[in-house]
Structure 1
Amino acid sequence: MADHVPLDRNWTVRAVAPAHPPEELAAAVTAPGGVPATVPGCVHTDLLAAGLIDDPYLDDNETRLGWIGRSDWCYTTVLPGVEDVAALARAERIDLVCAGLDTVAELRLDGRLVGRTANMHRSYRFDVTAGVRAGARELAVTFGSAYRYAEGLRERLGHRPAAYAEPFQFIRKMACNFGWDWGPTLVTAGIWQPIGLHAWSTARLAGVRPEITVASRPGGRAVGLVRLHVEVERSDAGGGVPLTLTARIAGQEREVAVAPGRNRAEVEVEVPAPRLWWPRGHGDQPLYDLELSLGGDGGELDTWRRRVGFRTVELDTRPDAHGTPFAFRINGETVLVKGANWIPDDCFPARVTRERYAERIDQAVGANMNLLRIWGGGRYESSDFYELCDERGVLVWQDFLFACAAYPEEEPIAGEVEAEAREVVVRLAAHPSLVLWNGNNENIWGHEDWGWKEELAGRSWGEGYYLDLLPRIVAELDPTRPYWPGSPYSGRSDVHPNDPDHGPMHIWDVWNRRDYTGYLDYRPRFVAEFGFQAPPAHATLRAAVGDDPLAPDSPGVRHHQKAEDGDGKLARGLAPHFGAVKGFDDWHYLTQVNQARAISLGVEHFRAQWPLCTGAVVWQLNDCWPVTSWSAVDGAGRPKPLWYALRRAYRDRLVTVQADPGRAGLSVVVCNDTALRWEGGVRMARRGLDGAVVAEAEAGFRIGPRGVLRLAVPDAVARAGDPARELVTVDVVAGEETDRAWWFFAEDVELALPEPDYEVGTEVGDGVTRVSVTARSLLRDVTLFADRLDGAARVSDALVTLLPGESHTFVVEGVSGLDARRVAAPPVLRCVNEALGGRGAGATL
């Protein structure tokens, strides 16, 4: 049986020439004894733990740490000897196995070269048997500067355009390490994934490529089909040994002999009548334990295990009367995608634990999402991520790692791309949650529209990867899943890559140049990116920025805004809806409200177009550090108001008020994303801002599974007598299910909003604090920012609009109690009326 000896202790790291540390740090970081290092980890986190650098996420510390990415670093440890570990003494082979090295490295054992690496996204294995047997003990892993490597390749291969003036496309490394419009420039180096010795004899499982799907047998009988393509590596002594492969799943077992000298085999197992794996909202997620064991010489030599699910996946792109759809079909059923884009959850990936993945994925589930798209400028996530998505029924759209740049197709990049793609496709193939391989993010669009053709002057830019190499690899290694060349991409060279009628599109003229009402001009087939910015939670920003006082344009706040003209776009986005905003507290609250409204409007508009539009994937779920960005969950894991808005907009059963085409009238759109029929009624009322009904109407509805129904709003309700003083409510009652949609005839800045008048009560018990708000006037978008009082506070709701006489109770968890007086007043308890200046009666305790 093989043995694994982890090498996760007694590491040190030091800067080696060429190194460029500040003068005051030079002695400490270049000392022969080095700095204690954590493996897995990286240089930044090691220097931070040693107290040698300030936290790069705070204030503008990032700008003083650029020298780290331009220096070389050596990690060193001492291996156990064969006299210390019995497994090493008896093994025929000893391999050094590196799950992930970041990025350009030389590995030496007692000074002798063991191997070289140049790809963060690959694993590596090196035979060190002779060295370990001879008593070699010191393992040194020296990382060359990622900048020097990438800039050197750029000089040799020629300039390639990109969204940012950084050389990230010339090295197979997490592109966003070089900075992005939501991320800092922190160019890392280090042993970022586990490293260890693998001691084995006779033979080992060198590769297991699973194909798992559902097949139909005579009579329509369904079977789960598991086909394992196995590659075996033999030791010198094991070349003539007969081997046996045994696969087990769901009580089924299949054994295949591997003759002496043979290194490849295929094992196939059928599972009768398997329970199907479904995305959340469509069914359960049964998972089966799959085991493959390798036997020989009278015992087990190696084992491979995964948890798998049975399902089919198709990407429907058959042209229709409206263009080219982009629809996911799971087990033959078309799925309405309600999702978000995922970026690395930390600039330093080793800090992202399974527990942190679980928290973030559970936040996606809590917002009623069913898909996460892993964006191409980050990383292939760890197995934990995909396993958690398998368990929770969250679909995964996986980009290959190319984003916002022209990528060279020459060596050594081309060879690294192929090796990386082959490894990751095999590594992730067992996960039922993975439903799409996507070639790149915005590179085909960039080549078409961003002036790249002139800059490239005929040089390669990645087209061969997206249209040839990657689809060939997927077809060869993972034929059970679809591949798509890029996002956005129309599917045809004669149609613009971001055409809304064809394939997935990205909507970025809204935010960059237009007000968010511009979403209403689109009738897309699928939206894979669209977003609107807001700052993080106050507790998150306050912990990261030392400015006193905080201001939208104070130095630390501005440093934590990475988007080009981001502050200007935030201000221009606020103006049509709220006018001029004064003061940090109002800016902070109203930008978050504006973000939530923008994305809610877009999601509800796209949902109302089902089945023409089959999905919306918001940019973005998460952040990698504390920053003003498009995220729903900030860099400290705190939900923004956007998260609560998405929770409603993505709910399975939704009622929304939509302007009719041409915006001459209104419709109530009832969306039923469940497998059951939905029946009920709606009460539509035009009201004054005092809540009094001016006109009303009622209608019943019956809507089938996965359906959308439009109900016309009568003119008496849909047409305002005084747009500044009226609104529409639509209340749905269907059994115990209730919902309310709102329509305002004018923007807040134009409304005659009353002075806020309300009563607040607090009650502490059962480990939570309940804060009840009773309205005596209309209150728009009431939000309780309990993190202003305690950063650990978690609030049940946000953006609650109340008519006079209505109440709502916010449940606050994570804290033992809150100051009642501070809870009842700004900046903790906010509503739009108050933020726009109506401070009259205010709260009564």
Structure 2
Amino acid sequence: MQNAHHRRVIDLGGEWEFQTAQPHDDPLELSGPWGKMPVPSNWHLTGLANYTGVVVFRHAFSAPPPEGDQVVYLVFHGVDYYADVWLNGSYLGHHEGYFQPFHFRLGEELGQSNVLIVRVDCPKEEPGKEWPNRKQLIKGVFSHHDCRPGGWNLEHGQEGPTGGIWNRVELMYVPQAHVLWLRLHPASVSERESLVVAQASVHSPKRQYAEVDLTIWPLSDRQQVLSQGQKLFLQPGENRLHLLLPVSSPRLWWTWDHGLSELYVARLVLRTEDGSYDHLEERFGIRELRITEDGEWRLNGRPIFVRGTNIIPTQWLGHYRPEDIVRDVQLLREANVNAVRVHAHVNRPELYDALDGAGILVWQDFAMIWGYEDSPDVARRATAQIKDMVHLLYNHPSVVVWCCLNEPFPQNRRVLGPILADAVSREDPSRHVEEVSDFNSHPYPGWYYGSYREFSGLPGAPMPTEFGAQALPCLETMTEMMPREDLWPPNWERWAYHNFQYLETFHIAHLPMPHSLDEFIAESQDYQAQLLKFAIQHYRLNKGKIKGLFQFMFMDPWPAITWSVVDYRRKPKKGYHVLAQCYQPVLPIIALEREIASPGRLLIFRVAVVNDLPQEFPDAQVKVWVTDPKGQETVLDTFRLTLPADSVVAAHRPPFPKGTCMWRIPWEAEPGSYSIHVEVSDSQGRGLGRNWQELKVVALPLPRSWHPIF
């Protein structure tokens, strides 16, 4: 429920009293001392570090009496995990789950002076018996992940808990007859006309006649108003409504690289025969995303190549501030990302608002990852919560895919996956549903096995939804992360607590054992950057076979050493700049046959340009040049080509095979690091994309006659 005319909202946030309790303690009869804690917050960060179990909160507040026929709701926007609520000694009810808003209708319990008691239980699951493979709590990455405090460790893997009243608590005053919720989705979307389908729930205290008016308008233009009215006869309790509103020449919602991310406002007004009035507003977008049988994404009928990343912005949602969200979305945009996978959790609604406005698609995972107890009870609770997720995020145009399970264990894949997918499809037939995101689309060559050069075989096709490698954050962030005595020489156990993977780093990626922390940071960031550049360029060169990709992952949710390209302090690693470069909508690519060569050798390489944009660039200009170790540039080639929309075009210079360029390294070339650059511009010389590839030239201890020249 949201604010509306004649509604009133009182924020109950602030400093609340709290004390820890045992499971059997009566929350109304606690005799211990009370501490102070801000609400909203996660208690791990506000005085109860690493505490799991029961915390009882107490808050005294004054409340004005309802005006006229108003009713009052007590609304919680997020409590992790179990909540039991009392007001002035009267028990209101119970709730399970960390991300869903929930509310209680108040009656005589509410007075002028009030005492609210909230018992919050964020339990630790029994290591070995429940955690990590037979979990009961539905919290996704917030209870089990290799990017959270302690990782998989049985003793430490549930530290840094997320318990608390982490989102707003409010009193909401509304008329007796009022709108509970409003959901909107577009149908039959085209640039000529679309249909807006509205579903609403209206509460009425009695049988009565009423009128509803649905009005929509573009957020950017209040003058273009469309409306439709309907008369109805309300029954006591909840009434479901369905309305259809045709929209001519709609302003479609696009990703930022395909157009404007237009949003609409919808207002549903309720008037009853006794003069009661209420209204509710929601934002939505007119767009349609379909995924074809071969995996191609089509947004509003147009093919779109997904340049995505996985995000877990924070471990503690109560401390993810609006300015943090703005900063994170800006970093995503500057990295040329047009889609995110919200990885195995549900985040704050404000994040989805920002992604709507930024024109970034969302693949939304449910909060289940790896192993859960295979029982009817878990299935029942998971089904209820996944439907809550759909309801919470329904109106966000950025959300285009629901995914039920991440890398599930066999018993969960077999039983739970189909149950959840069916529930989501029934709740929201308008969106694509993935039953699982599984290992076959999560290739990790160069990190968990093999060499990163295996990405040339396009593992995970047609849509890899995870791939990457770990890299250390910068020195400043590393120094903040752990005590100096654990930092260097490394206390490997402490590093593992912060998610560092020793085996993969030294025995699969084959990084050399470092001599200093600075050296280690540089080498690990170089390796991550090399892997990402190699993988992404091969995936994008094979546009068509590959429909898109989601790198793992974008940012750290806590001070950690992970696969992220932006650390916890939001300082970019080298991999961030590679991601931004390789995710340019128009990307020229140099594909070298070798990365090390000697003077006099003929270097043969391919040049191609990938165009993800929906527009053609006729007579585009391509320039290729080399920069030597002293910074001197030598132009190798220039040519023109036509870049069709949504295409990959190879440079063609007859008589050479299509896409082939050649450069003989001068005999007098000094050993060192060279870079081959390529730039593509439109017919007017405006830059579209740039790229480069490093080449190492080495001297041979041989006469020139023994040097290889091909």
Classify the TM-score, shorter chain.
Answer: 0.7 to 0.9
The structure carrying a bigger helix percent of its residues is: 1
Q: How does 1:677-688 map to 2 (within 5 A)?
A: 677=617, 679-684=619-624
Matching of residue 534 in structure 1 with residue 534 in structure 2: no
Say whether the 8 Å CA contact 2:134–2:373 is kept in structure 1.
Answer: no
Q: Deviations over 1:55-95 (max 9, x none)?
A: xxxxxxxxxx3xx11x32101112425xxx032x6455333
In 2, distance between residues paired with 1:656 and 1:183?
39
Say whether the 8 Å CA contact 1:35–1:47 is kept in structure 2.
Answer: no
- TM-score with structure 1 setting the length: 0.71
Matching of residue 478 in structure 1 with residue 478 in structure 2: no
Q: CA deviation at 1:281?
A: 0.7
Say whether the 8 Å CA contact 1:275–1:310 is kept in structure 2.
Answer: yes
In 2, distance between residues paired with 1:228 and 1:694?
61
Q: Deviations over 1:26-76 (max 9, x none)?
A: xxxx9734111211112223316xxxx6xxxxxxxxxxx3xx11x321011
Aligned to 1:363: 331
Matching of residue 261 in structure 1 with residue 264 in structure 2: no
Q: Deviations over 1:686-723 (max 9, x none)?
A: 78766789995554322211211223565853899899
In 2, distance between residues paired with 1:179 and 1:725?
42
Aligned to 1:570: 505
Aligned to 1:408: 374
Distance change in 2, residues 1:483/1:718 (3 Å): farther
Aligned to 1:78: 60
SS at 1:72's partner residue? strand
Q: How does 1:119-134 map to 2 (within 5 A)?
A: 119-132=97-110
Say whether the 8 Å CA contact 2:186–2:194 is kept in structure 1.
Answer: yes
Matching of residue 203 in structure 1 with residue 185 in structure 2: no
Distance change in 2, residues 1:139/1:532 (3 Å): same
Matching of residue 731 in structure 1 with residue 671 in structure 2: no
Taking only aligned residues, the RMSD between alpha carbons, in angstroms, comes to 3.3
Matching of residue 717 in structure 1 with residue 663 in structure 2: yes
The one-letter code matched in structure 2 to 1:143 is V
In 1, distance between residues paired with 2:580 and 2:640?
25
Q: 2:308 aligns with which of 319, 339, 349?
A: 339
Aligned to 1:826: none
In 1, distance between residues paired with 2:57 and 2:133?
25
Q: Deviations over 1:473-516 (max 9, x none)?
A: 3333322211121113xxxxxxxx71xxxxxx111243112332
Say whether the 8 Å CA contact 2:366–2:389 is kept in structure 1.
Answer: no
The one-letter code matched in structure 2 to 1:141 is V
Say whether the 8 Å CA contact 1:169–1:175 is kept in structure 2.
Answer: no
In 2, distance between residues paired with 1:360 and 1:128?
39
In 2, distance between residues paired with 1:738 and 1:359?
25
The one-letter code matched in structure 1 to 2:284 is V
Say whether the 8 Å CA contact 1:306–1:430 is kept in structure 2.
Answer: yes
The one-letter code matched in structure 2 to 1:539 is E
Aligned to 1:146: 123
Say whether the 8 Å CA contact 2:14–2:40 is kept in structure 1.
Answer: no
Q: CA deviation at 1:556?
A: 8.8
Matching of residue 418 in structure 1 with residue 389 in structure 2: no
In 1, distance between residues paired with 2:399 and 2:463?
18
In 2, distance between residues paired with 1:738 and 1:269?
40
Q: 2:454 aligns with which of 488, 508, 518?
A: 518
Q: CA deviation at 1:428?
A: 1.6
Say whether the 8 Å CA contact 1:684–1:728 is kept in structure 2.
Answer: no
Q: Deviations over 1:226-251 (max 9, x none)?
A: 221222222xxx21232222111121
Say whether the 8 Å CA contact 1:371–1:395 is kept in structure 2.
Answer: yes
Distance change in 2, residues 1:409/1:3 (3 Å): farther
Distance change in 2, residues 1:363/1:688 (3 Å): closer
In 2, distance between residues paired with 1:202 and 1:334?
48
Q: 1:349 aligns with which of 317, 329, 342?
A: 317
Q: How does 1:165-314 map to 2 (within 5 A)?
A: 165-166=131-132, 169-178=135-144, 180-184=146-150, 185-215=159-189, 222-234=192-204, 238-250=205-217, 251-261=225-235, 263-297=239-273, 299=275, 301-314=277-290
SS at 1:486's partner residue? strand
The one-letter code matched in structure 2 to 1:441 is N
Q: 1:15 aligns with which of 20, 27, 44?
A: 20
Q: CA deviation at 1:615?
A: 0.9
Aligned to 1:372: 340
Matching of residue 46 in structure 1 with residue 46 in structure 2: yes
In 1, distance between residues paired with 2:171 and 2:626?
72
Q: 2:528 aligns with which of 572, 587, 595?
A: 595
Say whether the 8 Å CA contact 1:574–1:591 is kept in structure 2.
Answer: no
The one-letter code matched in structure 1 to 2:551 is V
In 1, distance between residues paired with 2:339 and 2:627?
38
Q: CA deviation at 1:617?
A: 0.8
Q: CA deviation at 1:297?
A: 4.9
Q: Deviations over 1:353-385 (max 9, x none)?
A: 222111101100000010011111x2x222211
In 1, distance between residues paired with 2:78 and 2:69?
24
Percent sequence identity over aligned pairs:
20
Say whether the 8 Å CA contact 2:628–2:674 is kept in structure 1.
Answer: yes
SS at 1:424's partner residue? helix
In 1, distance between residues paired with 2:659 and 2:675?
10
Q: Which has the higher contact order (CA 8 A, sep 6+)?
A: 2
Distance change in 2, residues 1:733/1:123 (3 Å): closer
In 1, distance between residues paired with 2:509 and 2:426?
50
In 2, distance between residues paired with 1:173 and 1:575?
35
Query: In the comparison of the two structures, how many residue pairs are matched?
Result: 655
SS at 1:596's partner residue? helix
Distance change in 2, residues 1:684/1:255 (3 Å): closer
In 2, distance between residues paired with 1:261 and 1:331?
39
Matching of residue 439 in structure 1 with residue 404 in structure 2: yes
Say whether the 8 Å CA contact 2:55–2:121 is kept in structure 1.
Answer: yes
The one-letter code matched in structure 2 to 1:676 is E
Say whether the 8 Å CA contact 1:177–1:347 is kept in structure 2.
Answer: no
Say whether the 8 Å CA contact 1:547–1:554 is kept in structure 2.
Answer: no
Aligned to 1:781: none
SS at 1:170's partner residue? coil
Greater Cα offset, 4-13 or 30-39 = 30-39
Say whether the 8 Å CA contact 1:655–1:741 is kept in structure 2.
Answer: yes
Q: CA deviation at 1:16?
A: 1.1
Q: 2:583 aligns with which of 621, 625, 650?
A: 650
Q: 1:667 aligns with which of 591, 602, 606?
A: 606
Q: CA deviation at 1:196?
A: 2.3
Q: CA deviation at 1:567?
A: 3.0
Aligned to 1:466: 417
Q: CA deviation at 1:105?
A: 2.4
Say whether the 8 Å CA contact 2:87–2:114 is kept in structure 1.
Answer: yes
Aligned to 2:392: 427
Q: CA deviation at 1:407?
A: 4.8
In 1, distance between residues paired with 2:400 and 2:424?
12
